[in-house]
Amino acid sequence: MEKELVIIGAGIAGLYAAYYAGLRKIDAVVLESSLEIGGQLQALYPEKPIYDVPGFKKISAKDLVSNLYEQYELYKNEINILLNEQVQSIEQNDQGFLVTTNKQTIQTKTVLIANGGGAFSPKKLEVGKEHYDNVHYSYPESIHLKEKEIIVLGGGDAAVDFALLAHEHAKNVSIIHRRDVFRAHQGNVDELRSKVNILTPYTVLDVVDDGNNVKKIILEHQKSKEQLTLDVDIMGVFYGMNNSKNNYTTFLIETDNDGIVVKTNMETSIPGIYAAGNCTSYEGKLKTIAVALGEVATAIGAINDRLNPNQNNHVYSSLLIKE
Ligand SMILES: Cc1cc2nc3c(=O)[nH]c(=O)nc-3n(C[C@H](O)[C@H](O)[C@H](O)COP(=O)(O)OP(=O)(O)OC[C@H]3O[C@@H](n4cnc5c(N)ncnc54)[C@H](O)[C@@H]3O)c2cc1C
């Protein structure tokens, strides 16, 4: 694959960069290491309200992510967001840069690093095999839940949210948590009590499988040590995320203790490689959403100037888009 721009990360910075690259007609692709977009907002605090995004008195993290995605969709035919693509190295060559992921190598003229606080991956079930077809770490499509026995593991927002969603379609839903108290939005926890079979404080002792699928789950009560075996059709595991910190040394870019050192136009120490969002570092830097989005606009402007030095690259969107 050959591109003018590779954007690393589909957190809010990467998502907005995808939109802005589309607006500026830059041939770009977004590479995201996890299985979902939204970065920290989606992985760490989807239900939390945010109060300091310009133009919104209050907006939940997941709604902000879906709004950014909706805005990007204007250019989704031109700019792809590829999930499960972890960037492993960037090498400089005569045509620009060679970006290597866990799946492919992409030749590009420029790079925008928007990899924030590092790559997120779900914490796995600690018993049985590494992979089962019926064990999910993100929401499976509703169609697969119809008339099924659903087991949900976890006590946070993602687990509670999924249990409520599954209840709309499934035969039975049981949620299993090792504590009596859930760490989720109280309104959703209250709703859970009337709709879902709640088993607390239980831990998972073992699973019984047929090779490809988990058929039964064996639980142990934390206090009485009583054991319980439940049938499983579909299991959702929401134990939270592991975060592997960024290793910038592989990219040979100047960094300090807070991240990638950038100039005022968001260019890094390597001409042609830019950075925006939580990963950047400069005096006075604030690691917030508003700042990240501003940095993206600056970075895409500078990238466009580099790719198209002889054109007027700074036309306002209000003058550019004709409906
Ligand atoms: C609990 C909490 C509450 C917060 N509340 C607020 C608030 O109220 N207001 C506010 O302004 N800010 C808040 N923040 C900060 C805000 O979430 C961050 O500023 C924002 O998420 C930065 O976005 P980003 O896109 O730069 O990085 P991230 O959200 O970290 O996204 C980076 C993306 O890059 C991907 N990635 C990483 N490495 C690779 C790789 N090698 N290859 C491919 N992809 C990769 C990651 O998987 C991730 O999806 C909060 C943060 C937390 C943790």
Domain boundaries, the chain: 2-121+242-320, 124-239
Q: What atom in ligand 1 is closest to the CA of residue 279?
A: 26
* Two structure tokens written together for 175: 């949620």
In this prediction, residue 148 carries a pLDDT of 94
Please determine, for residue 248, whether its predicted confidence score (pLDDT) is greater than 70. Answer: no
* Rounded-to-integer distance, Cα 176 and Cα 160, Å: 10
Q: Would you place residue 138 in the very low, low, confident or very high pLDDT band (cuts 50, 70, 90)?
A: confident
DSSP at 17:
H
Spatial CA neighbour of 258 closest among 235, 232, 290, 284: 284
Q: Is the CB of 296 under 6 A from ligand 1?
A: no
In this prediction, residue 217 carries a pLDDT of 98
Choose one of 53, 101, 115 to mutate for the ligand 1 pocket test, by most ligand atoms within 8 angstroms of C-beta: 115
* Rounded-to-integer distance, Cα 134 and Cα 212, Å: 8
In this prediction, residue 242 carries a pLDDT of 77
Mean pLDDT of 261-272: 96
Mean pLDDT of 289-298: 98
Q: Is the CB of 140 under 6 A from ligand 1?
A: no
Q: Would you place residue 257 in the very low, low, confident or very high pLDDT band (cuts 50, 70, 90)?
A: confident
Please determine, for residue 212, whether its predicted confidence score (pLDDT) is greater than 80. Answer: yes
* Two structure tokens written together for 234: 């579909």
Nearest CA to ligand 1 atom 2: 45
Mean pLDDT of 195-211: 97
Please determine, for residue 301, whether its predicted confidence score (pLDDT) is greater than 70. Answer: yes
Please determine, for residue 85, whether its predicted confidence score (pLDDT) is greater than 80. Answer: yes
2-121+242-320 shares its CATH topology with 124-239 = yes
Q: Is the CB of 46 under 6 A from ligand 1?
A: no
Choose one of 88, 289, 298 to mutate for the ligand 1 pocket test, by most ligand atoms within 8 angstroms of C-beta: 289
* Two structure tokens written together for 35: 């299985």
Interface confidence (ipTM) of the complex: 0.99
Tell me the per-residue pLDDT of 23-76, one tens digit each, with 9 for 90 and over.
999 999 999 998 889 999 988 888 788 999 999 999 999 999 999 999 999 999
Neighbours of 20 (CB within 10 A): 26
Please determine, for residue 220, whether its predicted confidence score (pLDDT) is greater than 80. Answer: yes
Please determine, for residue 250, whether its predicted confidence score (pLDDT) is greater than 70. Answer: no
Centre of ligand 1 from the C-alpha of residue 208, in Å: 37
Please determine, for residue 19, whether its predicted confidence score (pLDDT) is greater than 80. Answer: yes
Q: Are strands 234-237 and 149-153 parallel, antiparallel or unpaired?
A: parallel
* Rounded-to-integer distance, Cα 260 and Cα 150, Å: 44
Looking at domain 124-239, its CATH architecture is: 3-Layer(bba) Sandwich (3.50)
Q: Would you place residue 16 in the very low, low, confident or very high pLDDT band (cuts 50, 70, 90)?
A: very high
What is 2-121+242-320's CATH number?
Answer: 3.50.50.60
First to last CA, the chain: 32
Neighbours of 274 (CB within 10 A): 30
As a whole number of Å, the CA-based R_g of the chain is 22
